[in-house]
Every structure is written in structure tokens, then in C-alpha cells.
Structure 1
């Protein structure tokens, strides 16, 4: 292709190629971000902004589309399969606690709950089913005291006994669950490049030629 060009075109070819590669990478990035937005119900802005591009240069002739390390770690199962990546030792499954607009626990929620006197962290075994559930539990509202008929040491004055309701599960701990959604990140990128390369290269070459003549 280079031999078919005239001297001016050959001189501008590296610049046009680098420009086309960068344009293609940006098309891939935009498509990958759009795919994230449609694959997940409420992806965070951090996830959507995690896809980046390095521009090509005449010396390197390479443009890269990448996912930032933190996001890549938890998105990897959605490309290669497997289970969700856990930030801790267990999957946090919120039950009766407020979530943010993206359906996630707000930062520091777990630490805040642990510091509250009416919250306990541990395992509870249900007598009826024998099931043991580990998680963060909320004690019932302030314990109500009721008079009993037991005689006290000083006569017939009633002693006070505590009446307590059941615990409420706020966050359940569990094992990592299998990932069912698939991003097809690499296949999608290859399809975009194959579809748009000729057009982007032609646009870049025309631009390079126009710039050179000026």
C-alpha cells in the first residue's frame, strides 16, 4: 500500500496510521463503556470510567484500550467466567439496610454498623430449620421490661424481667457466587476494529494530506 502512494502520502502515512489507530481505540472504548452500562443494572461511575485509551504515536504505532486495575479485578469473571471477586472473606448480601443509588452498600457501612451497640456480628442457628446464617444482625428496639409474679427478696414486690424479640438480619455473609453475565470484551473490540478500520484510516489519511498541503 505504501508503494502505491506518492511521496507526500508516504511521508504522511505514519501520522495517518497513528491517528487511525487512536480513533479506533476510542471507538472500542466507547462501545465497551456502553456495554458495561447495558450489562449491569446500575454500574457505578467508577466502573464506567475505568475503560481508558493510550494514544498511538508514529514511533510506536500502537494504541491500547485498557481497564484500570481495580475495576479489571472484579470485571475479570465477566469476561473469563468464574465467581464474583470478594473484597473480603465473604460475599455481602444486604437484606434490611439502605443501599446507594447503584445498589451497593455505601462505603464504611459495615464498619459503622459494627460500632453500634444494637448490632451484633456472628452466626445464628434457627431451631425450626437447623439452618445457620452468618451475618450482621440488628437487635430489636430497646428492650421492654415487664413485671413478673416472682417474689423478690424483700417481699412480694415484683422483679423485672426482660422480654426480647427476634434479631433482624441486615447483611448476610456468604460464599462467592458464580457470574452469569458475560461482557465479551475482546470479541466486541475485534468486531469494532474490523468493521471500522478502513473508514478511520481513510479519514485520517485525508486529514494528514490536507494538513501537509497547508
Structure 2
């Protein structure tokens, strides 16, 4: 978690306001903070789509906003806990988090539109009589994964076909820069959102 303060902007604006406008400042500030937080959320989601390889809607929609009020001028843009647990290495570095004992790398198995294997696919495949899970000695070395026994066809001998390869966790090389994206958006948008919110609040007060 990180903090971006806009107190300096608010103090500068407050000095230039008359008494009526100053009374509207807490409400206008809350509106401006919330508008900025929403822009930060959209920017973080767009950045995810650029940095990560076809992130799922669950991952993109894990960015959420806790809104500010005029009595609590703090908004929070955060990643929901489940997604945060596997996105953290793409922010701070380290090994990617595995959903099981190994990273499942599709080889010949069908994937969904996001390049991911369907849920419980290994279990369903391993239940088939011509499929097994285990290690096989290949020319490239021992390979652990889900294998399919293929039938002999015209011009092709029977053999083994690797469907899913089991790999260890590896270093997450992409960086989301969640902090940097948020700071840049706040710096470029908050003052404009505050001016708009004050003007709107003044129009409603008159």
C-alpha cells in the first residue's frame, strides 16, 4: 500500500476562496478525490492489460475503490486480496505464485481465450484411459506432465503426446508499477477535478 497526499493542492485552493466557497470545500474535495480515484482505477486496469499477457476479467476487475466522504477525505484504490496474492510478484519481484504444486504449461491441451487451462482439466484428462500423469524420459531430458498415448496411424507410429507440462515457479519479469501509475494520474488530474467539483458545489449552493 502507498499514500498520495493532495493536502498541498487543497490548501492552495482554500486560500483563494471566499467564505461561501470555503464552506463547500470539504464536499467538493471528497468529490474530486473520488473522481480521481476512479481515473486511477481505470488507468491501473489499462496498465494491467498492457503489462500482463491476456489477464482475465477476474484479474482486471480486482482493482477496487473505497470512496472518500467529506468527513473522511481519503479514498483507497486497491487490489482485492485473492488477486493481490498472485499479482504481488509482478509489482515487487520474486517467483510467480502457483495455483497448484506446479505451474501448468499447456502444450497440446486446449486453452480458453485468455490462454489459461480450464478448471480441473488435469483431473478430467487423467481420468481418460489413454492419458496418464507422470515423468517421461525424452531427448530433452525428463519431462513431468500430462501425457496422451496416441494410436498408430498411416505413416505415423503410436507414441506419447505431451498435453500439459509441469514446471516450477519462475521469476516474474513484468512490472505493473501500481504505485507509479497511481502517482502520475493523481498529479495530472486531481487539481482539475477539484476545480470542477468546487464550481459544481458553488452552483448548487447559490
Query: Normalising to structure 2: TM-score of the pair?
Result: 0.87
2:92 corresponds to 1:99: no
Report the Cα distance in structure 1 between the residues aligned to 2:116 and 2:181, rounded to whole angstroms. 28
Matches within 5 A, 1:28-107: 28-107=40-119
Report the Cα distance in structure 2 between the residues aligned to 1:175 and 1:4, rounded to whole angstroms. 60
2:136 corresponds to 1:124: yes
Report the Cα distance in structure 2 between the residues aligned to 1:186 and 1:114, rounded to whole angstroms. 43
Q: 1:139 — aligned with what? A: 149
Report the Cα distance in structure 1 between the residues aligned to 2:33 and 2:101, rounded to whole angstroms. 42
Q: 2:3 — aligned with what? A: none
| Higher fraction of strand | 1
**Aligned-residue CA RMSD (Å):** 1.7
Q: For 1:18-44, what per-residue CA distance to the aligned partner results, in whole angstroms no more than 9, with x for missing partners?
A: 001101101110111111111123221
Unaligned segments of structure 2, at least 5 residues: 1-10
Aligned residue pairs, count:
191
Report the Cα distance in structure 2 between the residues aligned to 1:42 and 1:196, rounded to whole angstroms. 28
Offset of residue 3 of structure 1: 5.1
Offset of residue 211 of structure 1: 1.3
Q: For 1:179-199, what per-residue CA distance to the aligned partner results, in whole angstroms no more than 9, with x for missing partners?
A: 111111101101111111211
Report the Cα distance in structure 1 between the residues aligned to 2:159 and 2:95, rounded to whole angstroms. 33
| Higher fraction of helix | 2
Unaligned segments of structure 1, at least 5 residues: 145-163
2:182 corresponds to 1:189: yes
Q: 1:206 — aligned with what? A: 199
Report the 3-state secondary structure (helix = DSSP H, G, I; strand = E; otherwise coil) of the residue aligned with 1:43.
coil
Structure 1: 4+ residue segments shifted above 3 A: 1-4
Larger Rg: 1
Q: For 1:106-130, what per-residue CA distance to the aligned partner results, in whole angstroms no more than 9, with x for missing partners?
A: 112112112111110111123x56x
Query: Normalising to structure 1: TM-score of the pair?
Result: 0.84
